[in-house]
Structure 1
Amino acid sequence: MSRMTVDRSETRPLHAQVADALRAEIRDRSIPPGETLPSEAVLCERYGVSRSVVRQALGTLIDEGTVHRARGRAPVAAAATEHHRLVQRVTGLHDQFSSEGLHLSTTVVSLEHVRTAPPAATRHLGTDDLLRLERRRSVGEGPLSHVRTWLPRERFAGLSGRMLDDASLHRVMRDSFGARPTSGRRQIRAVPADPRIARDLGVPAQSPLLLLEGGTFDRDGSPLEWFESWHRSDRVVFDIEAQEGVDRVSLAPPSGEGSCAPVPGTASGPAPAPPEGERSGDRGLERAWDLVEELRTELAHLRRRG
């Protein structure tokens, strides 16, 4: 086995570096759920560290639930809990989870008046007089997503962070401002986590995330919001409903790239093909399978870069 020494010039402790490396292997399923981790002696040799450093790293992973260890047994990789989201529905994550009997907690990170936003947000909303809302969405085992939303300030004058703690933004729109979200367009892209988002979601910087972004309209066609929502790719699965002749989901290329062509040299392998009878004459289903393959390719590419 090749030796993978840690970077002793880094400011992070050695045990944190070893924990990050093992966490990445578990997240990428190089160490599948339920599989025993390499022995302490093997890990010492692999990373060029002492046994005490390895034990600290394993202790961190056990405390956070990434690794399980029963008394008298070797540590094993824990199975991650996956939460499913229907991305083509206007219904927000809070309402989707509530309908499944799950409690989604929402923490307001910030709410402020701004006059700068991404061009897509100002184009959609038709103004640069905006509120920028940042929230963290979590379930029992930890953070799932970080959401950044831009809202027209005049339409939502009086909105406060207190109104949104552990609440659905769309429900607040309906109940307090008479705005009913009914339609919109969504895009999905695979992106690396920048340091700020990574800290909020509890993952290493550059970890692969799934970014869902788009705009929402009221029933009269008035724009209500533009949002960017970063999801942990190890905990959230996007579900797609495909119908014949209907393209329901748009996959955007990674920032700075001009196409969604598969990245050559990835090791993920092709997504399994659906039965021939299901593909014939069904454009929506074909688009769904294309989307699955493209996302798998982009996530594999990001993990290889990390």
Structure 2
Amino acid sequence: MLDRTDGRPLHQQVAESLRQEIVGHDLPPGSTLPSEAELCARFGVGRSVVRQAVAGLAADGLVIRRQGRPTVVAEPTEYRRLVQRATGLFDQFARRGHDIRTTVVGLEKATPPAPARASLGTSACLKLERIRLVDDEPLSYVRTWLPAARVSELDADDLVDASLHRLLSQRYGLRPVSGQRQVRAVAADERLAAALDIGVGTPLLLLEGETADQHGRPLEWFSAWHRADRVVFDIDVSETAETLTLDAASPREPAGAPTGRSRPTSEDLARARELVEELRTLLD
């Protein structure tokens, strides 16, 4: 049943409830939406309210309505991005044949937040804000901090429908090659909701990180908010020979154990052998 004290229209509440089930795969792609009668009984509303709600879901591409047949959940439109690559969204999606557009919201001198300042090693920065559209749909809002001294002639017009990384490489000889990334889930505030054409509170995937150039010098600090209903982050993982050897030779450490220790010394190995011999003596 719906919350009658909620200020939103009833059809919006019904649509939002069904939307959450679709996004959460409680109603997986290809499944049949409950009938109008079932939805009326479930939410305690009339058929006109249900029809409005389903029409809204169809307009958003979440369900497919066909004359004389049940309404089914549509296959989601997903755009996949490799997050461990230094290359940005523009180059990754362009290689797959997508139509990429970039709207520059602003480019100005500004003082960066503490994490960006620490990463870049300066407070004299340029703040660049952009909206990325893929196949005419806004997918991400990107805020990038750049050391002003290294890109002093950067112009906003050069970044419209263009790749920042490509421009840095071609014009300044600064090739992004490495960095660290973090991903977290956040809710869209009013500004992000308006920029990405979504509702306030809609889940977003926030990708943050720093990038260094080919000489290991800091080049950018960025925050990129992606629509969680459209963008999928892919991560390639593998275990190196060193990792496999360490895992086989040592027990799993408890949560919170210190990490980043150096390799064992010859004295450590000698002491370990002594302990093994003592243990064998006790067992004998």
TM-score, length of structure 1 as denominator length: 0.73
Change (3 A) 1:232 1:246: farther
Name 1:220's counterpart in structure 2.
215
**Cα shift at 1:128:** 1.9
Which consecutive aligned stretches of 4+ in structure 1 deviate over 6 angstroms post-superposition? none
Where do residues 1-306 of structure 1 align in structure 2 (5 Å cutoff)? 4-10=1-7, 12-115=8-111, 117-140=112-135, 142-245=137-240
Counterpart amino acid of residue 176 in structure 2: P
Change (3 A) 1:206 1:246: farther
Q: Is the 1:6–1:47 contact (alpha carbons within 8 Å) kept by the matching residues of 2?
A: no
**Cα shift at 1:68:** 0.8
The count of residues paired between Structure 1 and Structure 2 equals: 247
CA distance in 1, matches of 2:40, 2:164: 49
Which of the two has higher C-alpha Rg?
2
Q: Is the 1:245–1:282 contact (alpha carbons within 8 Å) kept by the matching residues of 2?
A: no
**Cα shift at 1:57:** 1.6
Identify unmatched segments of 5+ residues in structure 1.
Answer: 248-278, 284-306
CA distance in 1, matches of 2:241, 2:132: 31
Change (3 A) 1:165 1:13: farther
Counterpart amino acid of residue 106 in structure 2: S
Change (3 A) 1:119 1:151: same
CA distance in 1, matches of 2:217, 2:162: 23
Q: Could you report, residue by residue, the CA deviation over 1:199-258 in whole angstroms, capped at 9, with x for unpaired residues?
A: 3333433333222111111222221110111222232222222232399xxxxxxxxxxx
CA distance in 2, matches of 1:47, 1:113: 52
SS at match of 1:206: coil
Deviates more, 1:187-196 or 1:59-68: 187-196
Q: Is the 2:98–2:135 contact (alpha carbons within 8 Å) kept by the matching residues of 1?
A: no
Change (3 A) 1:233 1:179: same
Change (3 A) 1:14 1:213: same
SS at match of 2:70: coil
Identify unmatched segments of 5+ residues in structure 2.
Answer: 248-284
Q: Could you report, residue by residue, the CA deviation over 1:161-205 in whole angstroms, capped at 9, with x for unpaired residues?
A: 321122111011122333221221112222333333233333433
CA distance in 1, matches of 2:72, 2:35: 11
Percent identical among aligned pairs is 53
SS at match of 1:154: helix
Q: Is the 2:101–2:136 contact (alpha carbons within 8 Å) kept by the matching residues of 1?
A: no
CA distance in 1, matches of 2:185, 2:58: 28
Q: Is the 2:2–2:44 contact (alpha carbons within 8 Å) kept by the matching residues of 1?
A: yes
SS at match of 1:101: coil
CA RMSD of aligned residues (A): 2.5
Counterpart amino acid of residue 42 in structure 2: R
Q: Is the 1:113–1:132 contact (alpha carbons within 8 Å) kept by the matching residues of 2?
A: yes
Counterpart amino acid of residue 144 in structure 1: L
